[in-house]
Structure 1
Amino acid sequence: MFGVGVIAGVLVAALALPALGGVGFTARNVATSFLNMPSELETPPPPERSIIYDRDGEVIAEIYDKNRELVALEDIAPVMQDAIIAIEDSRFYEHGGIDLTGTFRAAIRTINGNTEGGSSITQQYVKNILVESADSQEALEEARETTLARKVRELRYAVTIEQRMSKDEILEGYLNIAYFGDGAYGAESAARHFFDIGAEELNLEQAATLAGLVRYPYSYNPRLNPETAKARRNVVLDRMVDTGAITAKEAEEAKATDLNLDLNAPSNGCMPSEQPFFCDYVVREIEGNPRYGETETERARWLRTAGLAIHTTLDADMQQAAQDAVDEYVPRKNESRKVAAEVLVEPGTGQIRAMAQSRNYGPDESNLGETSINFTTDADDGGSTGFQSGSTFKPFTAAAALDEGLPFSTSFDSPSSTTITGQKNCDGQPLEPWPVSNAGDNSSGHLNMIEGTKGSVNTYFAQLQKKVGLCDVIKMAEKLGVHRADGESFDRPQTQANNSFTLGSEEVSPLTMATAYATFASGGIFCEPQAITEIVDEQSDDTIKVEKSCERRISEEVAHGVSYLLQQTFDGGTTYGLEIGRPAAAKTGTTDNSASAWFAGYTPNLAATVFVGDPRGPQQHPLRRVTLAGRYYPIVYGATIPGPIWQQTMREAVKELEVEEFPSAPGKFTVSEPEPPRPDNSAEEPDQEPDIATVPDVVGQSPDAAVSTLEAAGYQVNLSNNPIRSTEPAGNVAAVNPNPGTELPTGAAVNVFLSNGEGGSDDGIPTLPVDEATELPTLFEWPPARQE
């Protein structure tokens, strides 16, 4: 080594002091100084891309600062190794790290201000290490500076590395760290980018093309400058002939071929992913969790440089089912700018199985159908500030009531409207009187908890909340993991919105609601939402296991009691007609003026929540008189669009899951409760008969006019999705059910069918669609969804 140092010292002295006499003396001094220079250079693995996988090992996304995939030398085609040696350092296996001829030539060029060329592969490897490991702008500039001092430092490090590493190890390191242009670092990434194959599959022409790039990656870029790249490739082939790696005939045959690029565009980040919003959620989880580094900057760098294998909870089939459903009912580029978002969570683990919404992932919110906001989650996780979720909050009130020992028979006189007084917030401060009403007269009367839940009766749950205590209901929701999406507290001082807590007046995210409902499904075990199961850091040979975080929050009896109540909604309740072919429990939610609509439901082994609304502001842009996917909706309820999305998703998502039954209703809740005393005059007044009216004749009218006429007559309106054969103009009303002139209680539903303009049946009667399974008229929704 001393001999190599002396030679290097003489070389440097000769270059640096060419006009001075006594070169030998100067050389000895410089040689000593050269050997005394710092020589130890850390050779950590170069930065490489991290990959996010779904639960089956399929790639979701690649995240990196530099597109690099490390491979062993044995996984790089020998012809690629020969090509890079021929063009960059033909005496690589002969010298000791310093190619004196090439170094002398490079030093002369350096003095003249040109640092390119002449360095051995070992020296180039050193330079790349210094650049990659620079942790400051100053260090980076020093590694790239055009000075003789930089060349000397590289020489000193090269001598040491040659003593410490074998030639094959150095060549492997160089082929993994070198930049090949177009964003591709290392031979593996370059092969995949330019030819869509692995480095071990490279043939002679391809290897020569790649080897020619490292000197001037931009100028020789075959995508941008194909003729220049081809000429450079041919130079490499000639050099390979000179080194004896190939014959002249092989070189000529290779020169006669085209470049034959098969470009594979880099897929860095979440935007190119097919699951971009879940990808974004995972990235934010890593960057925001102190477990993965002291600062967010450190965590972000670790994610993008450490070559992590990030294994997640996403189920590709469930994700596809959810995405297909939201896209079918709320297309991504709908002119009304409404959005549907859905999330699926596994009870008992909290693992997120799907996260879908009807938007493309992108930074420009002004582009129709594009957003970077994940509407399934909270603001801190890249989501929105949340949306009011309507009557999907009512199960929290029921849970609080059951937790305090109230049975299903707990009953109240639940009129169409009432005023609740005497409620207090959690600070004991009285709240103002709260007027509350139901959506229709058909959802009123003396009701127990089962009937109140089936009909989603506002006045019933308002009284149940008062009986239990508003603060107790809030605390129950918080036990179940429910929180505002903007991070604010539910019990904000002097906030009168808390009065209507049971009606879902708080802004939350779909993930929060799915997690809460999953707690009911799991028998009272709450689990924090989990997206990551394992992170493998191959560079540090470390594996981080992410265990589920679960604890019991409510008793099994309370959870099973709520599940029993929510199963009843399919039996003539607000979720009737939305069954999925196996035991399920669910609840609809619609906010005032149909600002937003929700559907939350579950089986014992999967929970899902759907939100539909307008991100611009649900109150300002309600779900009224909107057209989505070619269907006109005069008003959207929880069972109108969110319900079918949930149903379609769940039918597909549970196919591979075992059919499980819910436990029976706990006996303690099925006991009868004494009837509450009626008002003093109740015995003297007979029950009031419902008002009877006649269904107006709206056949031939436009949908808007017909809806207005029927609602003015006191009826709820359901508009069929499927036009029918009729002589009426296409788009106008073809028929109503019940028929015009029928006497019907106000508050009941009238079903409206539009014409397709293709004429009626032979007898002139409009042809109604028939459900093959039931051979009954297919109605849009029956019983009608109630405004909740």
Structure 2
Amino acid sequence: MLGAVLVGLVLTRPVPFIALSTQARDALVLAENTASGQGSWPLVLPQRSVLTNARGNRLATMWTQNRVVRPSAGISPKLSAALIAVEDSRFYSHGAVDPRGVVRAGWTDLLHGSAAQGGSTLTQEYAKNLMLQVAMNNGDVAAQGAATAKDLGRKVDELELAQQLEAHLSKDQILAGYLNTVYFGHGAYGAQAAAQAYFARSAENLSLDQAALLAGIVQQPTAMDPYAHPQAATTRRNEVLDLMLRNGVITAAQAATARRAPIRLATSTPDQGCAAGPEPYFCDWAWRRLASDPRLGPTPDARSGMLAAGGLTITTTLEPTMQNRARTAVTAKVPTGDPSGVRAAVAVVQPGTGHVLAMAQDTRYGFGAGRTTMNYAVDQTDGGSQGFPAGSTFKAFTLAEALRQGMSPSTVIDAPASRARWSAQDFTGCGPVDVRGWRPTNAPGDPWGPMDLTTATALSVDTAYVALEGRVGICAVRRLAEQVGVHPAATGQHLADVPSFTLGPFPVSPLTMASAYATFAADGIYAPPTAILAISHGGQPLPAPHHSAATNPRQVLDPSVAHSVTEVLRQVVLHGTGTRADPGFLVAGKTGTTDANTATWFDGYTHDLAAAVWVGDPTGTTHPMQNIVVNNHYYRHVDGGTLAAPIFRHLATG
């Protein structure tokens, strides 16, 4: 007990005599980094990260601690004065330790037999907060316990660090640092987060009564919670105002006016996470993609920590106007919660860049009846489903390969109505092909006989395309599809060399197909889909990540081949199965429909957007789209031109 008094008195000397512990040294660096706005994890304060759309509108906020670090100029002088009045009225006149407080605390120790407690200055409190924060940043549970232990060793470490803070930082920097670390309740760390949580305003704009309320909360955030205990919070606020008046920092008139002010709180505290934002499906996909961005750290854990605590501003590619159009287009044809069980999704990509401009589906995000967190537009590893069979949209890859091999849109192909038997010899360039039991036939009413490539595409004649695939080689078609990013949604692995390849048996995601079709719109340049435009920290942009050859835009088709593909796919919209997608200006695309009509597609593009629309049964079996009522309209059967094509037209025209 007497030792506590002696330690306190000795530590009032200007020259420290005890070496800092490792934790205290790190805490000093953390304080210096906070004052300078520099530093890197873990020697920086955790701050919330913000995800925005391409125009800067917030999509989500993420945090481990809800904090926005502000310099002195970004915090109201009223709050600083209120905090000093209630916590340490002699802050600007003493050093790291207030001798009066130490003697008072030591006398209490002698009387009651406790460890050194009480009499702490704001600098000491800041030191304690810093050491706890360092332990939390490092995930060191033992150090967290030591930083809050009520024993002599912890107190000595705190006092020594407090002296170092006074030696290295100005009083204003110490005060600002404290105001950025202290917990104000309701999940709010620091003045800025507290001002936003309680009053929905910035810390520099606090009124006198609001500043006094926040200063009063610090000592007992739960007991003084103005939401739960408004009377206790009001009483405490008025006590702070009395102390400010006694210290001469406000006038009697100002104090009286502030006492009369009713407590007006924000209607809700800030929510974090994609689920609380306006575009949860896109947000969740973008956040998952960020977990692989090398700018944010060398390992998944490091990247997760940086995302949740790094104070990042992440600007995504989402265009709000296009997103609204996509959502409206989808729900106009397949309303949210439609009793048919049919669902719809669309992904929109910018040709040449891979920027994902929109992502929408006709479901509500969340858990429970009528909600889902599954994003039908993306791969399973990105929070999506196992994908949906693409149907005849795969014919575009066979078409592109045929044109690349020198055929033309006028090349004639024989399209039998049916064929009793296909043999391995009908498919060249792939080695052994198992065709046992496979009997592709045309749909009822489809033309048959010799026809040119344009007609076969426009009318989506299956047997013509099976014959074409045999001529150009399954392997060649499969390689081209993989060059434009096509892969199974469930595995992300290679596609298989099967004779039905051109008829699209593989479950894929709309985002995959939109990115693939964007290649034709971009003169043969494939750009992998991306969600991120820029990442900044403290207002400074992080450097662009180093991409591998597999993630950079790359020329996979000669521009002349891409133009020829567009010429043919344009006829699908003008005269073929996709006429309901025609907006009255240049659009090219392809419909797709699977057996039993469980999945239907329209994948198309203009010069500035490519989109893949899927409409179908998300389970793949429960709701075949035959003799079905969707959005109060009866359909004998639904194919790619029935609902998916009009959704694309609505999207393209706005």
TM-score, normalization by structure 2: 0.90
**Equivalent in the alignment of 1:207:** 211
Structure number with bigger Rg: 1
Q: Are the equivalent residues in 2 in contact too, given 1:524–1:554 (CA < 8 A)?
A: yes
Q: Are the equivalent residues in 2 in contact too, given 1:533–1:545 (CA < 8 A)?
A: no
Compared CA separation, residues 298 and 415, structure 1 to 2 (3 A): same
The amino acid that maps onto 2:213 is: T
Distance 1:518 1:175 in 2: 50
Compared CA separation, residues 156 and 243, structure 1 to 2 (3 A): same
Q: Select which of 429, 433, 437 maps to 2:432.
A: 429
The amino acid that maps onto 2:596 is: N
The amino acid that maps onto 1:385 is: Q
Compared CA separation, residues 308 and 520, structure 1 to 2 (3 A): same
Distance 2:597 2:100 in 1: 81
**Equivalent in the alignment of 1:152:** 156
Compared CA separation, residues 147 and 453, structure 1 to 2 (3 A): same
**Equivalent in the alignment of 1:516:** 516
SS of equivalent to 2:217: coil
Q: Does 1:568 align with 2:555?
A: no
Deviation at 1:521, TM superposition (A): 0.5
Deviations 1:538-584 (A, max 9, x none): 29x56222588211011112111111110001222111132123211
Q: Are the equivalent residues in 1 in contact too, given 2:2–2:106 (CA < 8 A)?
A: no
Q: How do 1:385-400 and structure 2 match up within 5 A?
A: 385-400=386-401
Please say which of residues 296-305 and 576-585 is displaced more in the overlay.
576-585
Distance 1:216 1:559 in 2: 68
Distance 2:381 2:571 in 1: 36
Q: How do 1:310-709 and structure 2 match up within 5 A?
A: 310-362=314-366, 364=367, 366-368=368-370, 370-418=371-419, 419-422=421-424, 428-433=431-436, 434-487=438-491, 489-492=493-496, 498-538=498-538, 543-545=542-544, 549-615=552-618, 617-652=619-654
Deviation at 1:113, TM superposition (A): 6.3
Distance 1:594 1:137 in 2: 56
Q: Are the equivalent residues in 2 in contact too, given 1:490–1:506 (CA < 8 A)?
A: no
Compared CA separation, residues 42 and 33, structure 1 to 2 (3 A): closer
Distance 2:15 2:196 in 1: 47
**Equivalent in the alignment of 1:132:** 133
SS of equivalent to 1:625: strand
Q: Does 1:12 align with 2:4?
A: yes
Q: Are the equivalent residues in 1 in contact too, given 2:429–2:473 (CA < 8 A)?
A: no
Structure having the higher helix fraction is 2
Q: How do 1:108-127 and structure 2 match up within 5 A?
A: 118-127=119-128
SS of equivalent to 2:572: helix
Distance 2:267 2:305 in 1: 28
The amino acid that maps onto 1:372 is: T
Q: Select which of 42, 46, 56 maps to 2:29.
A: 42
SS of equivalent to 2:29: coil
Distance 1:116 1:447 in 2: 93
**Equivalent in the alignment of 1:221:** 225
Q: Are the equivalent residues in 2 in contact too, given 1:48–1:66 (CA < 8 A)?
A: yes
Q: Are the equivalent residues in 2 in contact too, given 1:86–1:236 (CA < 8 A)?
A: yes
Segments ≥4 residues shifted beyond 4 Å? 13-16, 30-34, 104-117, 423-427, 488-492
Q: Are the equivalent residues in 2 in contact too, given 1:117–1:215 (CA < 8 A)?
A: no
Deviation at 1:601, TM superposition (A): 0.4
Deviation at 1:107, TM superposition (A): 6.0
Q: Are the equivalent residues in 2 in contact too, given 1:479–1:554 (CA < 8 A)?
A: no
Q: Which runs of 5+ in 1 are unaligned?
A: 1-8, 17-23, 653-788
Deviation at 1:215, TM superposition (A): 0.7
Q: Are the equivalent residues in 1 in contact too, given 2:78–2:207 (CA < 8 A)?
A: yes
Compared CA separation, residues 168 and 457, structure 1 to 2 (3 A): same
Compared CA separation, residues 86 and 309, structure 1 to 2 (3 A): same
Distance 2:362 2:282 in 1: 13
Distance 2:273 2:115 in 1: 36
Deviations 1:136-173 (A, max 9, x none): 11111111222232222111100110010001111111
Could you say which structure has the greater relative contact order, defined with CA pairs below 8 angstroms and 6 or more residues apart?
Answer: 2
Q: Are the equivalent residues in 1 in contact too, given 2:487–2:495 (CA < 8 A)?
A: no
Deviation at 1:445, TM superposition (A): 3.2
Please say which of residues 98-107 and 120-129 is displaced more in the overlay.
98-107
SS of equivalent to 1:544: coil
Compared CA separation, residues 488 and 190, structure 1 to 2 (3 A): closer
Deviations 1:308-350 (A, max 9, x none): 1112211110011101111222222223333211111111111
Deviation at 1:108, TM superposition (A): 6.8
**Equivalent in the alignment of 1:751:** none
Deviations 1:391-423 (A, max 9, x none): 111010111111111222322332332243225
SS of equivalent to 2:314: strand
SS of equivalent to 1:605: coil
Q: How do 1:176-191 and structure 2 match up within 5 A?
A: 176-191=180-195
The amino acid that maps onto 1:623 is: M
The amino acid that maps onto 1:436 is: P
Q: Are the equivalent residues in 1 in contact too, given 2:5–2:102 (CA < 8 A)?
A: no
Please say which of residues 438-447 and 641-650 is displaced more in the overlay.
438-447
SS of equivalent to 1:127: helix
Q: Are the equivalent residues in 2 in contact too, given 1:481–1:515 (CA < 8 A)?
A: yes
Compared CA separation, residues 91 and 587, structure 1 to 2 (3 A): same
**Equivalent in the alignment of 1:665:** none
Please say which of residues 371-380 and 561-570 is displaced more in the overlay.
371-380
Q: Are the equivalent residues in 2 in contact too, given 1:92–1:121 (CA < 8 A)?
A: yes
Compared CA separation, residues 108 and 420, structure 1 to 2 (3 A): farther
Deviations 1:601-626 (A, max 9, x none): 001221011111222x2134322333
Distance 1:119 1:636 in 2: 74
SS of equivalent to 1:354: strand
Compared CA separation, residues 361 and 544, structure 1 to 2 (3 A): farther
Distance 1:299 1:317 in 2: 30
Count of residues in Structure 1 that have an aligned counterpart in Structure 2: 625
**Equivalent in the alignment of 2:79:** 80
